[in-house]
């Protein structure tokens, strides 16, 4: 879900990096983009159904992240949004699940 959003919201010439790895007993899927990002104070709110950030021109219902978070929880995992590790503009989407 977030990788599609990352591509939609990242301007031409930007970057979307996807990685998967295992850390201790957890499997992690991380998408990091150079788009406009989401303000820290809005990051929890975007997981609520039908919430869309004002000012975006993209079409959508605002359900994607709510569905993704519920699916992750059903599998024993969780999703968070964070700043990029390099401090640049954009967002870091992190899905963590216990490794099989």
> For residue 1, what pLDDT band results from cuts at 50, 70 and 90?
very low
Q: Over pLDDT 70: what percentage of the chain?
A: 92
Contacts of residue 57, Cβ cutoff 8 Å, sequence gap at least 6:
none
Ordered structural domains, the chain, with CATH: 2-98 (3.30.565.10)
Helix pair 2-9, 64-74: axis angle to 10 deg = 150
Flag whether pLDDT at 54 surpasses 80: no
Mean per-residue pLDDT, 61-81: 95
Say if CB 56 and CB 38 are below 8 A apart: no
Residue 11 gets which letter from DSSP?
P
pLDDT for res 18: 94
Mean per-residue pLDDT, 26-51: 94
**Element (DSSP H or E) covering residue 4:** helix 2-9
- Across the beta sheet with 91-98, what order do the strands follow? 16-23, 26-33, 91-98, 78-82
> For residue 7, what pLDDT band results from cuts at 50, 70 and 90?
confident
């Amino acid at each position: 879900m977030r990788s599609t959003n990352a591509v939609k919201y990242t301007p031409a010439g930007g970057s979307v990096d996807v990685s998967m790895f295992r850390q201790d007993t957890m499997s992690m899927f991380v998408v990091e983009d150079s788009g406009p990002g989401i303000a820290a104070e809005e990051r929890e709110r975007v997981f609520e159904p039908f919430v869309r950030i004002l000012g975006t021109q993209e079409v959508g219902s605002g359900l994607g992240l709510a569905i993704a978070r519920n699916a992750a929880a059903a599998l024993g995992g969780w999703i968070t949004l964070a700043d990029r590790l390099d401090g640049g503009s954009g967002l870091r989407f992190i899905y963590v699940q216990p490794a099989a």
